Amino acid sequence: MISGATRLFAIIADPIAQVRTPQAMNAYFQAAGADAIMVPIHVPATDLAIVMAGLRSTRNFGGMVVTVPHKAAVVGYCDELGPAARAVGAANTVRRTAEGALVGDMFDGAGFLGGLRAQGHDPAGARVLLLGAGGAAAAIAVALAGAGVQELVIANRTRAKAEAIAVRVRAAHPDARVRVADADPAGYGLVVNATSLGLRMSDPLPIDAERLDPGTIVAEVVMKPERTPLLARAQQRGCVIHYGRHMLEAQVRLIGDFLLGTGPHA
């Protein structure tokens, strides 16, 4: 039951129709006995500054989840950043304090790793191809390097953005083997699509799926559609597929505790 005392939380994105976070977070709030609700807010990049100023001034606003395309830009509106957000240069969660300060942190990396491990996939010792160079890709790259992968290869259409992530990975994990290369998926044990390709069924595949080796784990961060064209084609090739929802499932408690001001990350 929503009342005048209910704390308001949001997820901001562009586009917004594909997000599944409100369902997951509202279930978390209910289970935690919190008088809180999360709603989706469609925010184009050109309007981010206006929306952030308004939400900062909204007294019953508790914070937000941040997704495409705002994860990197939102750090510029934060008064404080947690360790993962500082390492990555992006945030996917922002908490508003009672005083109106905005505190950002990044849980995509921990969530992706947690989702992989929950499905029985330990990336330690694997050769990994990571596709993309946005905020989620950067967080996943740092997390995978910390998990002890044998080698991390980052591929992105704009090579300079991939190189920038590699620099962040080396800063966080100096002993990690990380390099930038083309998006050829042959010879990898794990291929991660951290691009937005797949949000629309008409999107091109981010790789040549014919180059996938049978048995490779192919992982998505796209959550809707759940079975993206990449995952469908990878399964036809005999690959093990890993859905984007597993990352969200592993993040729910981390994000919820942070937004409510409880737990180790608060």
Catalytic residue status for 161: no
Q: What is the dihedral of CA 197, 201, 230, 107, to 10 degrees?
A: 50
CA 233 to chain centre: 23
40 class by beta-carbon count within 10 Å (0-12 exposed, 13-18 middle, 19+ buried): middle
- Choice among 71, 96, 173, 265 that is catalytic: 71
Report the alpha-carbon distance of residue 13 to residue 2 in Å, rounded.
Answer: 24
Residues tagged active-site = 71
